[in-house]
């Protein structure tokens, strides 16, 4: 081995540098150098030592050029810099820093004033990674119409286009966020547990809680205030987070407003303890219509008239049907009705067979006299008069321009029959003196007790009138005889 002393090394290095400077190209391991310095060999390298220790190297390894620190340099860094500034550092663990040589705490660290990492395509800037103050930016340059694409496992999954529209599962988003897939959904977790989701299933959009979230509610807010709640049982609450039915609305006088062409038409409202259903004040001709089984059953007209079975009521309440009937019940039991008979067209006011009540027509609030119709179809007018056996009675006088009694059998024309036995007046006198009333005429006591049957009394009075006529005729005959006798006496005198 040839040992070269330190001063000999200096002379040899000086001679080598001098020869390089004077020569155009220098070759080591080759006599055909292609540059100022050409080194040839099998994986040739240049070793750099410090105090006799190999610290770093430059090495051609196959087609690769390796620049690094030696294996016996456990903490040394690979540093590149300009103007005595260390701009690029690679530590012994392979961690890279640009613009800083502080402690390495990341695989790649970039430092500077708003440092930027740019990406070029054919010398044209296309994209960048940049730290702007406290903000981290990843994007494209203004003149680049390309998208930002995220590709896990080298498969494109997320796109952000030049307008800022994001697509997940689609490269052509049509809104700020477009998600495409087979029944795509967004899963929302709390504490690594599925709680809620947003999903497109076929043509349907689902927003809800997961099946494992057995007590959670779906809550919608405005101004950070809970406005609508759908609880775990599917009950909806508006103005309340504790709905008690399929739909519960809570507020001060809550109202459900119905519009047509953005104009208020009808509403459902709770005012205090009252429930209101109707049309709005500016709905001049709208009606409130109730229907079931697809058929309109009842209408409240714009003027307040109510129709049942008709859409055009002309009275406060109009009933229309083949046989219209208004039933009156107590405790689900029918006690009376008002109807129109379809055949006779009669108006029928009828009480059922239940109970023992009467039909009463009273115009004084129940305090005055009224018309009573009993279960045996007897009519009575008054404040309780109900004489047995009389189909009609009145506790007061009856006024009529005419009164017709039914035909009476044996009208007293029999008085004029030849065989009628007319009582002598002396006999009549004795009867009156004894009974204090005419023969065949009820006494005052009997009339006060039983009343007067007008038909019968008319017959009896007519009998007396005809008897009185006979008495007058008899007296007229006696008068005529007396006149003849007086005239005869005058002639004889």
Specify the pLDDT at position 281.
94
User: Which range, 40-54, 242-256, 338-352, is most confident?
Assistant: 242-256
Rounded to the nearest angstrom, the gap between the alpha carbon of residue 492 and the centroid of all alpha carbons in its chain is 126
pLDDT band for position 367 (cuts 50, 70, 90)? low
Least confident range from 7-11, 91-95, 267-271, 478-482: namely 7-11
pLDDT at residue 251 is higher than 50 = yes
Residues 330 and 285: their CA atoms lie apart, in Å, by: 36
- Phi and psi torsions of 264, nearest 5°: -60, 130
Digit-coded pLDDT (tens) for 255-304:
999 999 999 999 999 999 999 999 999 999 999 999 999 999 999 999 99
One-character DSSP codes across 72-102: T-SS--EEEEETTEEEEEE-TT--EEES--S
pLDDT band for position 11 (cuts 50, 70, 90)? very low
Residues 27 and 357: their CA atoms lie apart, in Å, by: 138
pLDDT band for position 82 (cuts 50, 70, 90)? confident
Digit-coded pLDDT (tens) for 427-459:
999 999 999 999 999 999 999 988 888 888 888
Average predicted confidence (pLDDT) for the chain = 87
Residues 339 and 350: their CA atoms lie apart, in Å, by: 8
Specify the pLDDT at position 386.
65
pLDDT at residue 368 is higher than 70 = no
């Amino acid at each position: 081995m040839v040992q070269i002393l330190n001063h000999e090394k200096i002379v040899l290095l000086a001679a080598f540098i001098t020869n390089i400077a004077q020569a155009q190209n220098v070759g080591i391991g080759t006599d055909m150098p292609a540059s100022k310095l050409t080194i040839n060999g099998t994986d040739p390298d240049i070793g750099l030592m410090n105090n006799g220790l190999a610290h770093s190297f430059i090495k051609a390894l196959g087609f690769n050029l390796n620049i690094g620190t030696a294996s016996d340099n456990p903490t040394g860094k690979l540093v590149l810099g300009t103007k005595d500034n260390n701009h690029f550092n690679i530590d012994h663990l392979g961690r890279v820093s640009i613009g800083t040589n502080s402690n390495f705490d990341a695989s790649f660290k970039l430092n500077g004033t708003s440092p930027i990492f740019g990406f070029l395509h054919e010398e044209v800037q296309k994209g960048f990674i940049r730290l702007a103050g406290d903000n981290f930016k990843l994007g494209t340059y203004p003149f680049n119409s390309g998208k930002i694409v995220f590709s896990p496992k080298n498969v494109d999954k997320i796109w952000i286009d030049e307008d800022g529209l994001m697509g997940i599962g689609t490269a052509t988003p049509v809104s700020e966020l477009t998600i495409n897939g087979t029944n795509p959904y967004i899963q929302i977790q709390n504490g690594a547990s599925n709680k809620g989701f947003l999903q497109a299933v076929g043509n349907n959009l689902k927003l809800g809680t997961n099946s494992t979230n057995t007590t959670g509610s779906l809550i919608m807010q405005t101004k950070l205030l809970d406005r609508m709640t759908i609880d775990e049982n599917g009950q909806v609450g508006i103005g309340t987070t504790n709905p008690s039915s399929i739909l519960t609305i809570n507020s001060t006088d809550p109202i459900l407003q119905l519009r047509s062409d953005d104009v208020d038409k009808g509403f459902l409202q709770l005012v205090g303890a009252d429930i209101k259903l109707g049309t709005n004040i500016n709905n001049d001709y709208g009606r409130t219509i109730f229907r079931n089984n697809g058929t309109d059953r009842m209408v409240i007209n714009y003027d307040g008239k109510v129709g049942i079975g008709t859409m055009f009521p002309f009275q406060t309440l109009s009933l229309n049907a083949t046989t219209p009937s208004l039933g009156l019940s107590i405790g689900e039991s029918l006690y009376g009705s008002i109807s129109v008979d379809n055949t006779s067209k009669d108006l029928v006011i009828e009480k059922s067979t239940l109970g023992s009540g009467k039909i009463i027509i009273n115009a004084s609030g129940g305090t005055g006299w009224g018309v009573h119709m009993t279960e045996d179809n007897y009519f009575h007018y008054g404040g309780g008069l109900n004489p047995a056996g009389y189909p009609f009675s009145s506790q007061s006088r009856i006024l009529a321009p005419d009164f017709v009694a039914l035909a009476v059998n044996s009208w007293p024309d029999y008085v004029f029959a030849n065989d009628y036995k007319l009582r002598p007046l002396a006999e009549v006198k004795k009867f009156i003196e004894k009974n204090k009333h005419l023969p065949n005429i009820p006494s005052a006591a009997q009339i006060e007790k039983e009343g007067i049957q007008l038909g019968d009394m008319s017959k009896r009075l007519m009998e007396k009138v005809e008897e009185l006529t006979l008495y007058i005729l008899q007296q007229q005959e006696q008068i005529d005889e007396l006149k003849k006798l007086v005239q005869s006496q005058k002639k004889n005198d």
